[in-house]
Structure 1
Amino acid sequence: MSLRLAPTFAQRLTEADRPLVGAWVCSGSPLVAEICAGSGLDWLLIDMEHSPNDPASVLAQLQAVAGYPCTPMVRVPSADRTLIKQVLDVGAQNLLVPMVDTVQQAVDVVAATRYPPAGVRGVGSALARSARWNRVPDYLGSAGDRVSVFVQLESTAAIAAARDIAAVAGVDGCFVGPSDLAASMGLLGQQTHPDVVAAVIGAFREVQEAGKPVGVNAFDPVAARRYLDAGASFILVGADVALLARGTEALADQFIPR
């Protein structure tokens, strides 16, 4: 039996005629991930950096959303090559790596997703869901085309090097993180400060000049619209845990006397 894998997020961006809109999945719950996947959103970001996830829970969430047209991406907590290998092997086809500040870090990230001689990914396709246990024809020979790699720009150093980072071969796009960028600029908690917004939009231009798509996180609707108008190709506009928190607070406010 031979199987085909889903298109990567990079392929979806290439084919899209509008920005792709998504949400974070931070709960660690396959059930919640499936609910989000059936919502009509274009993509989901399964988070391992600030959420209670490990490769096993990521696997369960990837399986939960596999039957839906929504494309999952996994954010690993760091550029650790062993963890990247594990996440790829459980079947993640789209990776976001946080805190990439330099060209060399971007080069190393790409290398961690490629088999030798192009990279350093350990070979275990016969044992792994990534190749559907060798049911995907020529997985080893084409694995680089079956994985899309996105790096996160979220510091002043990363913004200064945005064009060069985006130009690294194998980097399929960049994602700007206003929260950590604001902290890096001495504006902790002020993601919508005019200086932060200007820095984000400046990074957009640099990444676009390198010929790569650029995305951003923006829970604030006004900021989200501004970033879309500035040319964001993909965007995150909410998170499962935040929606649940605000929704239950609204219920309490509505029915419980204060």
Structure 2
Amino acid sequence: MPAPKNVLKQAMAEGRLLRGLWLALGSEPVTEIAGRAGFDWCLVDGEHAPFDPAMIRRQLITLENTGTPAVVRAPGNQDWILKQVLDVGAQTIMVPMVNSAEEARAAVRACLYPPEGIRGDGGYTMRASGYGAVPGYASSANAEICVIVQAETRAALDNLAEIAAVEGVDCVLFGPADLAADLGYRDNPTAPEFWEEIKRGIGVIRAAGKAAGIFAPPDRNAEMVAAGVTFLSLGADAALMTATLGALARSET
């Protein structure tokens, strides 16, 4: 029995527009609602939200029960962290702050079993292998792993073509908040020249044959799709709840 088919990786390779939601609250009911809402993917944010491996595992189980593909953003680009995220069942993993081709290759190697990578095999102890119920997991897992790396600094922009060319990288995603700060636009993130930099970068990624992604302000989404983005975040559970409850509290009825 092989590892489960990663339908999100396949859709990404086909160039489909994939629209999703960031999950930061760690609430299984909220995650279940999001999973049933009709998004193409939902991302469990292990970088900025208070997720440990046990909570990530619960989020993955909740999403599996809705049928919506899960993405997990790891807290960093360390092999032991990526291994833990994969072992609890993630197949699509996002790696923040990747600034060079060398760092991108390190992320890919950490996600793949030898000889292509260095991922350790937890065998019967892993949820990813069904705790041993998927005996062919280790020999089939590599083909179903999807790696998204984030470009969030000037260094990443300077090395973007090399990062996107790394074998095993499926998508490069822009994090505009950190990128704006590093480029000197922290207090002016709407500057047209900043977004021109991003659109140029999208073209570089697509020219390498990889998917381009972004978490942009909603009023930029159409522009980003027109520029070539195919992995698009539509928002985050926490921000949407803040906006919705705030509007309700301010309503007159």
Q: Which moved more, 1:229-238 or 1:109-118?
A: 109-118
Where does residue 243 of structure 1 map in the other structure?
240
- Structure 2 alignment gaps of length 5 or more: none
Contact 2:2 2:137 in 1 (8 A): no
Aligned to 1:179: 177
Distance across 2 between alignment mates of 1:191 and 1:122: 41
Q: Normalised by the size of structure 1, how large is the TM-score? A: 0.93
Partner of 1:7: 6
CA distance in 2, matches of 1:9, 1:190: 34
Number of aligned residue pairs: 253
Confirm or deny that 1:228 pairs with 2:192. no
Taking the aligned partners of 1:45 and 1:147, their CA distance within structure 2 comes to: 15
Q: Name the residue aligned to 2:149.
A: 151
Output aligned runs, 1:179-218, within 5 Å: 179-218=177-216
Deviation at 1:146, TM superposition (A): 1.8
Residue number among 45, 66, 69 corresponding to 1:71 in the alignment: 69
Q: Secondary structure at the match of 1:64?
A: helix
Query: In the alignment, which residue of structure 1 is the partner of 2:133?
Result: 135
**2:19–2:39: 8 Å Cα contact kept in structure 1?**
yes
Distance in 2 between residues matched to 1:189 and 1:12, nearest whole Å: 36
Do 1:77 and 1:97's aligned partners in 2 also have CA atoms closer than 8 Å?
A: yes
Structure 1 residue ranges, 4+ long, deviating more than 3 angstroms after superposition = none
Q: Say whether the 8 Å CA contact 2:3–2:129 is kept in structure 1.
A: no
Contact 1:89-1:125 within 8 A present in 2 as well: no
Q: CA deviation at 1:189?
A: 4.6
SS of 1:88's partner is helix
In 1, Cα distance between equivalents of 2:243 and 2:42: 19
Query: CA offsets per residue over residues 206-246 of structure 1, 9 Å max, x none?
Result: 1111111111111x232111001111011001100001101
The 1:160–1:3 alpha-carbon spacing in structure 2 relative to 1, beyond 3 Å, is closer
Question: What residue number does 2:249 align with?
Answer: 252
Shift of residue 81, structure 1, vs aligned partner? 1.0
> TM-score, structure 2 length as denominator?
0.95
Percent identity, aligned pairs only, is 38
Shift of 1:143: 1.5
Whole-angstrom distance in 2 between the partners of 1:244 and 1:189: 25
TM-aligned CA deviation for residue 142 of structure 1: 1.6
CA distance 1:198–1:136, shift in 2 (3 Å): same
Indicate if the aligned counterparts of 1:8 and 1:94 stay in contact, CA closer than 8 A: no
